[in-house]
Amino acid sequence: MKILADQNMPLVEQYFAEFGEVVRFDGRNVRAEQLQDVDILLTRSVTKVDEALLAHANKLQFVGTATIGIDHIDTELLNARHIAFSNAPGCNAIAVAEYVISSLYALCQENAMSLTGKTIGIVGLGSIGSCLQAKLSALDVKLLLCDPPKSERGELVEHTEFDDLLADSDIVTFHVPLVKQGPHSTLHMLNKARLQALKPGMIVINASRGDVIDNKALLEVMQQGAELDLVLDVWENEPSILTDLLDYVRFASVHIAGHTLEGKARGTQILYQKVCELKGMCATKSLTDFLPKVNVSAASIADNFTNDDVGRLVHLIYDVRRDNGILRRLLASEGFDSLRKNYPPRREFSTLTVKTEGATHAQLAALGFRINE
């Protein structure tokens, strides 16, 4: 059996070697001929799986993407050709939620602001939005939630319409898929008119897909003096992003919000489990077999800790400003894709045990730290 896997997907040899030969490919430059005699194709978000790519796929049984987003996959085509497919739902939900939390605490430090009493609008309440909701729910903030598809299915009782959420939030964060048509299209859902209507001082975070915000319109409104605090991990037209926008963005990164070691490894593991299912085999390998030990694993905190102290703990594990610095120093010389490929290791909050003076602090636990273990 031949397994063709993106070169940026970790642990494929460790998980998949038992099924056959693993061959790597360059995600953005794969050619149709490379799919000749391939049984399993494992991609990340940069590979368009379409008619052209599958032109020589004579043996393909399974396509897996180690991502949540599936806007790069022609799923109807796979269906029509009876090729099994899976994405990796939830694999990087914690990582993206922690990217947002890290950004919020960094903004608190830099703007001398407190999250207490702020209204945070979450757009898209799937794996990531719900994970973020759970983490934020223990903080003293008001949450507004917008997810029309879930609301229509009766799965989100406290739904707020998108325009109401924009009007009433101090902070808005996007966690929607890229959907280009239909009643719930997300393409340019933050368009020029809506951008112009945002309150001065509003914080806008996008770690979903770049096309959810009209980037050209965003540049125009910022050039016209809009006072928005922008945190952008994703961009229209990656890897050739609108670099003029960078001057107006507080924290910018190269589509790495989901790139914790755990998040990327979970993506590979979920696809391994799917292939095991497909073959009627038991999945025997698990993440803990492969993740490296962390160097910093414990910290202690006094019972009278402040919000600033929580920010310090968050940034001990992950500070989004590291990634903002990398982009600003190296984008021009290295390029967007190379910065993604060489992304320095990042771990999740759960790798830190916080020792308290006795009490179990719900806020720290909700954020994802281990307490007193």
Ligand X SMILES: O=C(O)[C@H](O)[C@H](O)COP(=O)(O)O
For ligand X, the binding residues (CB under 6 A) are 44-46, 67-69, 92, 255, 258
Q: Residue 79: which H helix or E strand, with range?
A: helix 75-80
User: Residue 21 catalytic?
Assistant: no
Closer Cβ to ligand X, 208 or 351, answer by number:
208
Q: Are strands 251-252 and 229-232 parallel, antiparallel or unpaired?
A: parallel
Cα–Cα separations (whole angstroms), residue 65 to 173, 177, 256:
24, 15, 16
Does the footprint of ligand NAD cover residue 207 (CB under 6 A)? yes
The item of ligand NAD, ligand X, none sharing an interface with residue 126, based on CB under 5 to 8 Å by kind, is ligand NAD
Closer Cβ to ligand NAD, 22 or 213, answer by number:
213
- Among 209, 250, 346, 361, the residue binding ligand NAD under the rule CB under 6 A is 209
Does the footprint of ligand NAD cover residue 149 (CB under 6 A)? yes
Closer Cβ to ligand NAD, 43 or 208, answer by number:
208
Q: Which of 236, 248, 264 shows the shortest CA–CA distance to 204?
A: 248
The answer to whether 51 touches 40, Cβ cutoff 8 Å, is no
Contacts to ligand NAD from residues 242-281, by CB under 6 A:
255, 257-258
User: Residue 209 catalytic?
Assistant: yes
Q: Which of 255, 251, 240, 239 shows the shortest CA–CA distance to 205?
A: 251
Q: Which residues does 263 contact at the CB level (< 8 Å), separation at least 6? A: 91, 92, 94, 95, 96, 348
Marked catalytic residue, from 236, 238, 262, 348: 238
Does the footprint of ligand NAD cover residue 88 (CB under 6 A)? no
Closer Cβ to ligand X, 67 or 103, answer by number:
67
Backbone angles phi, psi at 95, to 5 degrees: -60, -45
Contacts to ligand NAD from residues 5-24, by CB under 6 A:
none
Does the footprint of ligand NAD cover residue 64 (CB under 6 A)? no
- Among 10, 126, 239, 335, the residue binding ligand NAD under the rule CB under 6 A is 126
| CA distance from start to end of the chain | 44
The answer to whether 260 touches 345, Cβ cutoff 8 Å, is no
The item of ligand NAD, ligand X, none sharing an interface with residue 129, based on CB under 5 to 8 Å by kind, is ligand NAD
Q: Which of 148, 153, 146 shows the shortest CA–CA distance to 132?
A: 146
The tokens describing 342, both together, are 């060489």
What are all long-range contacts of 290-295, with beta carbons under 8 Å and residues at least 24 apart? 290/11, 290/14, 290/265, 291/261, 291/262, 291/265, 292/261, 292/345, 294/347, 294/351, 294/352
The tokens describing 226, both together, are 């809009």
- Among 27, 64, 129, 311, the residue binding ligand NAD under the rule CB under 6 A is 129
The item of ligand NAD, ligand X, none sharing an interface with residue 184, based on CB under 5 to 8 Å by kind, is ligand NAD
Encoded one letter per residue, x for contact with ligand NAD by CB under 6 A and - for no contact, window 28-47 reads --------------------
For residue 149, the minimal CB distance to ligand NAD (Å) is 4
The item of ligand X, ligand NAD, none sharing an interface with residue 46, based on CB under 5 to 8 Å by kind, is ligand X
Does the footprint of ligand NAD cover residue 86 (CB under 6 A)? no
Residues designated as active site = 209, 238, 255
Residues contributing to the site for ligand NAD (CB under 6 A): 68-69, 92-93, 96, 123-129, 146-150, 175-179, 184, 186, 207-209, 233-234, 255, 257-258
